[in-house]
A and B are shown apart, each in its own frame.
Chain A
Amino acid sequence: MGTVPQDELYMRATAEFGPALARLARAYEADASQRLDLLQDIHFALWRSFSSFAGQCSLRTWVYRVAHNVGISRRRKRSDLINLEELAEMSAEDSPEETVHASRALSRLQDLIRRLRPPDDQVMLLYLEDTDAASIGDITGLSARAVATRIHRIKQLLSLHFRQGESP
């Protein structure tokens, strides 16, 4: 594949998934400069990856795989990350946040994701992006059953932390 299709694919991918990639970077990095650095790493990896993209999967799956793999590379040496079950146990006493207070809810949500270890953080992010269970399996490599179990736990965790609020 020459450089023109690679550039075109990159333009298409970022036009379609750019905001989702920015949200992923915000979820992983609280610090603004680290966040921008991660986002640039993701975009660079994405552009490079398109030289070997030959329609093995959908563009959406490819983009999320690359983005999450860059995220894994950054986070895999951290030893303070926990899984969904441990997070649910730790946060059982927290009072739920009204989702109507969007910025507070968002801040708590990002904090939860940052404490999760892969692949639980990835499943949570993909669930929030409204990705279906089969695609989550394709992106993470988890079995359908493992994805379903995690989504169930994520829903429980979210219901512990957030209460759906009426707009004022």
Chain B
Amino acid sequence: MSDIKTVWQTQTTEETDMISLAEIRSRATRLKNWVLWRNLALYVYSIANIAVTAWLISTGQHKAYMRYEAPGLLLVAAHLFVIWQLWWRTSLRALPGDLMGRAALDYLRHQLERQRDALSSAWLWYIAPFMPGLIWEVWMRANLHPADIPPGYDHALVLYLVMAALFFWTSVGLAFSWAAARLDVRLEQLNTLKAE
């Protein structure tokens, strides 16, 4: 006689039951390297932005069309702030050590809350830091009126810059808000489960 629990517990599995410690350690090294390369890519991206801005300021390039110094420095500061925020938010050290050993509902709640908080405050740490520099830059460009650009074309160019910036940053903000709202629904479902 066989019941379904016996069928389940006596099934044969082709996978090895134990993975060697050498394999585990090599996986730990791979994870460490992946985190290192991911962070490095973020730093390279931001450093490239900073370098271009520094070059524009130091050489006076495009000075005829844009006075880049002050807004450029603000954008550099924004990049540095976002680098620090990304490092702090994605750091493995930010996770509690015993997280994986928590009960499943608590684990899931922690993960969802962490993501929800990062997303719902993204306007503050990912969008707002770029705004002063960006607005200043666009405002300066709008008031520059270069002599070699026809006024009609110049207005259209400024309008395009403003619309493109508005569209891009509003889309980013809305995408973050939508994702945070979805996570709120999941958290509400978890609360219902916990209250059962």
Contacts and interface: CB of A to CB of B under 8 A. Distances in A.
Contact of B1 (A7, A51, A69, A166): A166
Interface in B10-37: 10-11, 13-15, 17-19, 21, 23-24, 27-28, 31
Given A15-B18, A99-B4, A26 B13 contact: yes
A48 B13 contact: no
Taking chain A's interface residues, is the majority helix, strand, or loop, or is none over half, making it mixed? helix
Interface size class of A (residues with CB under 8 A): 35 or more
A99 B2 contact: yes
Interface in A65-81: 65-66, 68-70, 72-73, 76
A142 B3 contact: no
Contact of A165 (B2, B8, B19, B194): B2
B62 interface: no
A123 B116 CA distance: 27
A44 B196 contact: no
A116 interface: no
Contacts of A21: 17
A38 B41 CA distance: 27
B1 A167 contact: yes
Nearest to A145: B196
A111 B154 CA distance: 64
Between A69, A145, A166, the greatest number of chain B beta carbons within 10 A of the residue's beta carbon is seen for: A69
Contacts of B100: 45, 48-49, 65-66, 69-70
A105 B7 contact: yes
Contacts of B8: 23, 106, 109, 128-129
A36 B14 CA distance: 10
Contact of A19 (B1, B5, B13, B97): B13
10 contacts: A43-B19, A47-B24, A49-B98, A69-B108, A70-B100, A105-B4, A106-B11, A127-B5, A145-B196, A164-B1
Given A26-B13, A99-B4, A141-B104, 19 more contacts: A10-B24, A14-B17, A19-B17, A23-B8, A47-B24, A52-B101, A56-B101, A65-B101, A65-B104, A69-B100, A72-B107, A76-B108, A106-B11, A122-B104, A129-B9, A140-B103, A142-B194, A143-B196, A164-B2
